[in-house]
């Protein structure tokens, strides 16, 4: 799992939700502050809110941000929460959601993984230890079980199951049927989660851009750092470096000495900005129409 794929506690900083059974209640429990309702234009809404987690009534192909889907969820009926984890790509998020819900509701939480046979114990233990390190306050254990249904059968009454979306391990896949529908639930309901990479729009800073018509002598005074984006009518048209300003005539416009723009998209994973940062810092971030919307420090 790369750094840009690893979910972090900052997920709770901006939580948005759509209409659907249990969505508002789940979002309120997860959010650090007020969860924000969003409309059908999820992409625009998530970017505008710099959303880190979407609570929705079902999983779709929309994967811009991490998602959580409540299934038969009623917080008042939940007596405990268990994240069923394995080597799948969404287990780390499941663990974090379980811990957050345990803290918010005030109930016991834990991690559990299944090992179908003794010869698989070592690999299961290694995976569980890695995930448990993200949520050290939650107890973790391995259960001898050859199926998801047998694993859930060991849960106490009123347990809320948190599980990653299909993919990655035999355990995660067994929870779901055709159409990614959850077919193995728990008495206390379930939350299905899917992790997405951290995106540039979630981490970008406000840009200190310079207008293309600005004179070099003024740009020398205004420039903070070694380089800055150059814009015309809000659109990124280039990048100017301090070294270029020092070599240029004071009455030149910076548009005439700017380099061709290098940038990342708002929707790119943050790792893309690290690559561009090898050439220029800060890294300009643009929207779909080429407008400068932020910078990544690199």
**What pairs with residue 162 in β-bridges?**
83, 191
Closest CA to 74 of 221, 154, 188, 217: 188
Domain formed by 201-296, architecture: Roll (3.10)
For residue 253, what pLDDT is reported?
98
What is the bridge-based pairing of β-strands 235-241 and 227-232? antiparallel
Q: Is the pLDDT of residue 185 over 60?
A: yes
pLDDT one-digit tens code per residue, 143-178: 999 999 999 999 999 999 999 998 767 777 888 887
pLDDT one-digit tens code per residue, 111-153: 999 999 999 999 999 999 999 999 999 999 999 999 999 999 9
CATH number of 3-198: 3.40.50.620
Q: Which residues contact 12 (CB under 8 A, 6 or more apart)?
A: 30, 31, 32, 52, 53, 100
pLDDT one-digit tens code per residue, 28-44: 999 999 999 998 899 99
Let me know: does 22 contact 160? Beta carbons within 8 Å.
no
What φ, ψ does residue 169 adopt, rounded to 5°?
-140, 160
**Domain boundary assignment for the chain:** 3-198, 201-296
Q: Is the pLDDT of residue 262 over 50?
A: yes
């Amino acid at each position: 799992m790369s750094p840009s794929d690893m979910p972090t506690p900052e997920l709770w900083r901006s939580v948005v939700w759509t209409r659907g059974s249990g969505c508002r209640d789940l979002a309120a429990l997860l959010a650090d502050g007020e969860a924000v309702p969003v409309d059908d234009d999820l992409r625009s809404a998530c970017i505008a809110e710099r959303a880190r987690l979407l609570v929705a009534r079902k999983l779709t192909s929309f994967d811009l941000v991490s998602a959580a889907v409540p299934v038969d969820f009623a917080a008042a009926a939940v007596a405990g929460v268990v994240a069923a984890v394995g080597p799948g790509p969404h287990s780390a998020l499941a663990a974090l959601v379980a811990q957050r819900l345990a803290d918010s509701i005030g109930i016991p939480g834990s991690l559990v993984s299944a090992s179908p046979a003794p010869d698989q114990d070592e690999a299961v233990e290694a995976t569980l230890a890695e995930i448990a390190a993200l949520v050290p306050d939650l107890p973790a254990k391995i259960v001898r079980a050859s199926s998801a249904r047998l694993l859930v059968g060991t849960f106490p009454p009123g347990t809320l199951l948190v599980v990653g979306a299909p993919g990655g391990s035999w355990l995660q896949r067994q929870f779901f049927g055709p159409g990614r529908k959850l077919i193995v639930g728990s008495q206390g309901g379930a939350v299905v989660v899917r992790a997405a990479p951290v995106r540039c729009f979630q981490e970008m800073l406000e840009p200190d851009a310079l207008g293309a018509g600005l004179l070099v002598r003024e740009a020398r005074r205004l420039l903070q750092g070694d380089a800055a984006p150059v814009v015309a009518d809000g659109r990124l048209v280039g990048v100017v470096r301090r070294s270029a300003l020092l070599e240029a005539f004071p009455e030149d416009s910076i548009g005439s000495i700017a380099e061709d723009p290098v940038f990342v998209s708002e929707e790119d994973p943050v790792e893309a900005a690290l690559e561009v940062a090898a050439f220029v810092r800060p890294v300009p971030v643009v929207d779909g129409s080429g407008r400068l919307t932020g910078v990544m420090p690199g």
